[in-house]
Amino acid sequence: MFIEEPSKIICSQIYTKQSNILKIGKGSMLESQVYFEKDKAELIIGKNSFIGGSKIICTEKVTVGDDVLISWGCTVVDSNFHSLNWSERKNDVKQWFIKKKDWQSVVTKPVFIKDKAWIGFNSIIMKGVTIGEGAIVAAGSVVVKDVADYTIVGGNPAKLIRKI
């Protein structure tokens, strides 16, 4: 874990393994639950960013840029968590119980939230998404596709509202 001073982790729950990487840039605040699902997963948070009362579930890599605001109740995920094939998925509970989940059949793709982005209350950011610089995600949105720089998106699935 690498935390630049003065940064804060406030009453967060962080579920990690020895080989996971958590970097928090100078002046950032993390008030969230963070779950590292796989060895060598990385969560990188830039400078002067705030993540409040949210969940980040990291299987591969989640990157949050500088000056980012992620509001309360948001969820950021970088995987499907389960195979789409039932014959591979049927053993998930048993594997979790013994803490030996087989991630080989699960699709993972990194998430990137670029500098100056703002993710509104109760939004969900799905695997493989890049939120562009200065972009705004409206409250309650489900983002399944990339968001261009300096645009506002909203809805389920999130769609372009306007450029800013």
User: Is the Cα dihedral 149, 67, 70, 45 positive or negative?
Assistant: positive
- The reply to whether omega before 110 is within 30° of 0 (cis) is no
> HEC states along 60-99?
CEEEECCCCEECCCCEEECECCCCCCHHHHCCHHHHHHCC
Strand partners of residue 143: 125
Catalytic residue list contains 138 = no
Check 23, 38, 82, 109 and give the catalytic one.
82
73 with 121: CB under 8 angstroms? yes
Catalytically active residues are 82
